[in-house]
Amino acid sequence: MCEDDHEQEHGHGHGHGRTGVGRRAVFATGAAAALTLGSVSFAAAAPREQRRRTVRGTLPPGSPDFVYVPVDVPRGVREIHVAYTYDRPAVPAGTQGNALDIGLFDERGTELGGRGFRGWSGGARTEFFVRADAATPGYVAGPVRAGTWHIALGPYTVAPQGLAYEITITLTYGEEEPAPRPVYPPERARGRGRAWYRGDCHLHSEYSDGRYTLAEIAEQARAAGLDFINSSEHNTHSAHPHWAGLAGDDLLILLGEEVTTRNGHVVALGTDPGTFVDWRYRARDNRFGRFARQIRGAGGLVVPAHPHATCIGCNWKFGFGEADAVEVWNGAYTPDDEVALADWDGMLVAAVRDAGRSWLPAMGSSDSHRSPDVIGRPQTVVLADDLTREAIQEGIRAGRSYVAESSKLSLSFTASGGRGEHAGIGERLRVDRDTPVTVRLEVTGAPRCTVRFVTDQGVLFTGDPLPVSGAGTVEWRTTASYAAYVRAEVRHDTAAGPLPGALAAFTNPVFLGR
Q: What is the mean pLDDT of residues 235-258?
A: 98
Taking the C-alpha atoms of residue 394 and residue 365, their distance in angstroms, rounded to an integer, is 18
Rounded to a whole number, what is the largest CA-CA distance in the chain?
A: 86
Taking the C-alpha atoms of residue 366 and residue 330, their distance in angstroms, rounded to an integer, is 6
Residue 220 has pLDDT above 80, yes or no: yes
Question: What is the percentage of the chain residues whose pLDDT exceeds 90?
Answer: 89
Taking the C-alpha atoms of residue 401 and residue 399, their distance in angstroms, rounded to an integer, is 5
Residue 231 has pLDDT above 90, yes or no: yes
In this predicted model, what pLDDT tens digit does every residue of 382-395 receive, in sequence order?
A: 999 999 999 999 99
Residue 21 has pLDDT above 70, yes or no: no
CA distances (Å), origin 241, targets 9, 79, 505? 39, 20, 34
Three-state SS for 346?
helix
pLDDT confidence bin for 480, thresholds 50/70/90: very high
Find the range with the poorest average confidence among 1-15, 232-246, 405-419. 1-15
Bond preceding residue 372 cis, omega within 30 of 0: yes
Supply the pLDDT for residue 22: 33
Mean pLDDT of the chain, nearest integer: 93
In this predicted model, what pLDDT tens digit does every residue of 252-261 receive, in sequence order?
A: 999 999 999 9
Exposure letters 457-480 (e unless 16+ CB within 10 A, then b): eeebbebeebeeebebebebebbb
In this predicted model, what pLDDT tens digit does every residue of 90-108 receive, in sequence order?
A: 999 999 999 999 999 999 9
pLDDT confidence bin for 20, thresholds 50/70/90: very low
Taking the C-alpha atoms of residue 297 and residue 295, their distance in angstroms, rounded to an integer, is 5
Residue 372 has pLDDT above 60, yes or no: yes
Taking the C-alpha atoms of residue 150 and residue 71, their distance in angstroms, rounded to an integer, is 6
For 499, residues 6+ apart whose C-beta sits below 8 A from its C-beta are: none
In this predicted model, what pLDDT tens digit does every residue of 420-470 receive, in sequence order?
A: 899 999 999 999 999 999 999 999 999 999 999 999 999 999 999 999 999
DSSP letter (8 states) at residue 182: P
pLDDT confidence bin for 497, thresholds 50/70/90: low
In this predicted model, what pLDDT tens digit does every residue of 305-364 receive, in sequence order?
A: 999 999 999 999 999 999 999 999 999 999 999 999 999 999 999 999 887 679 999 999
pLDDT confidence bin for 30, thresholds 50/70/90: very low
Taking the C-alpha atoms of residue 15 and residue 60, their distance in angstroms, rounded to an integer, is 7
pLDDT confidence bin for 34, thresholds 50/70/90: confident
Taking the C-alpha atoms of residue 486 and residue 478, their distance in angstroms, rounded to an integer, is 10
For 12, residues 6+ apart whose C-beta sits below 8 A from its C-beta are: 19, 20, 21, 22, 23, 24, 35, 37, 57, 58, 59
* Residue 442: count of CB within 10 angstroms of its CB: 14
Query: Which residues does residue 254 pair with via DSSP β-bridges, in sequence order?
Result: 230
Closest CA to 364 of 327, 399, 320: 327
- CA 374-379-381 angle, to 5 degrees, is 155
Supply the pLDDT for residue 419: 86
Query: Which residues does residue 476 pair with via DSSP β-bridges, in sequence order?
Result: 439
Model's pTM, two decimal places?
0.94
Q: What is the mean pLDDT of residues 268-296?
A: 97
Query: Which residues does residue 81 pair with via DSSP β-bridges, in sequence order?
Result: 129, 170
Phi-psi region of 24 (alpha: psi -120 to 50; beta: other; left: phi over 0): beta
Taking the C-alpha atoms of residue 485 and residue 237, their distance in angstroms, rounded to an integer, is 39
Supply the pLDDT for residue 17: 30
Supply the pLDDT for residue 19: 30
Closest CA to 153 of 182, 113, 189, 110: 110
Residue 12 has pLDDT above 60, yes or no: no
Residue 25 has pLDDT above 60, yes or no: no
pLDDT confidence bin for 134, thresholds 50/70/90: very high
DSSP letter (8 states) at residue 279: -
How far, rounded to the nearest angstrom, does the alpha carbon of residue 302 sit from its chain's CA centroid? 10
Closest CA to 232 of 196, 277, 185: 277
pLDDT confidence bin for 16, thresholds 50/70/90: very low
Taking the C-alpha atoms of residue 88 and residue 66, their distance in angstroms, rounded to an integer, is 19
Q: What is the mean pLDDT of residues 196-224?
A: 98
pLDDT confidence bin for 9, thresholds 50/70/90: low
